[in-house]
């Protein structure tokens, strides 16, 4: 996987490992597939707000035990899309990517929100952020927002608005996978 993609997914590379207990017992890949807009990030440092590449949207597609992630991010006003392929682990909802990177679905209702833990090993240290995603381009899912806040009570919490042009572009490019507005 491209280093830029998970660096962009992480939003920052200077966060210490976040401890959040997952609630998933089964991941319905078919329901999880499709478009997701990033609506918030939780980390231990405010540097997450200063990341040069800001993820706006993700398209998730499953192929057996593989997860294909297309991430659209805003790179100083320009949209860029990277694609990465991860393999499912023996932990429910957890996928490993090349370069000691992982995405772990911590919680989702499939229709309105998803909460992911994205982490990587960089310079010998583990770095993680918690991502709050919604299906809707315009608004937050209130149940998801409260769940995100509950899971990140002891972590710095950063919710920030996105212009959304890159998320809109990603959703238009793959309308069959995009899910509900």
141: DSSP letter: -
Note the pLDDT of residue 8. 40
Residue 108: predicted pLDDT? 94
pLDDT computed for residue 163 by the predictor? 56
Looking at domain 3-19+30-173, which CATH architecture does it have?
Beta Barrel (2.40)
pLDDT, residue 15, reads: 35
Name which of 55, 78, 80, 68 is nearest 131 in CA terms: 55
pLDDT at position 32 is: 96
Question: What are the sequence ranges of the domains in the chain?
Answer: 3-19+30-173
Length of the chain: 181
Give CA–CA dist 127/144, Å, rounded: 23
Provide the pairing of β-strand 66-75 with 125-134: unpaired
| Residue 139 CA: distances (Å) to CA of 21, 109, 164, 181 | 26, 16, 11, 10
Grouped pLDDT means (10 residues each) for the chain, 181 residues: 41 40 74 93 63 83 94 86 94 92 93 91 76 85 83 70 72 57 38
Rg (CA), the chain: 14
């Amino acid at each position: 996987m491209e280093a830029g993609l998970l660096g962009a997914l992480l939003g920052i590379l200077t966060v210490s490992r976040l401890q959040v207990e997952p609630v998933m017992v089964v991941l319905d890949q078919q329901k999880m597939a499709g478009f997701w807009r990033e609506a918030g990030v939780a980390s231990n440092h405010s540097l997450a707000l200063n990341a040069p590449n800001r993820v706006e949207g993700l398209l998730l597609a499953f192929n057996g035990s593989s997860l294909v992630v297309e991430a659209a991010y805003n790179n100083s006003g320009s949209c860029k899309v990277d694609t990465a392929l991860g393999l499912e682990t023996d932990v429910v909802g957890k996928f490993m990517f090349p370069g000691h990177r992982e995405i772990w679905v911590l919680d989702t209702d499939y229709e309105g929100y998803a909460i992911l833990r994205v982490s990587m090993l960089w310079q010998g240290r583990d770095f993680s952020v918690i991502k709050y995603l919604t299906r809707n381009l315009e608004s937050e899912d209130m149940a998801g927002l409260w769940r995100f806040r509950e899971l990140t009570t002891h972590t710095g919490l950063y919710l920030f608005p996105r212009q959304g042009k890159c998320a809109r572009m990603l959703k238009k490019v793959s309308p069959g996978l995009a899910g509900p507005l």
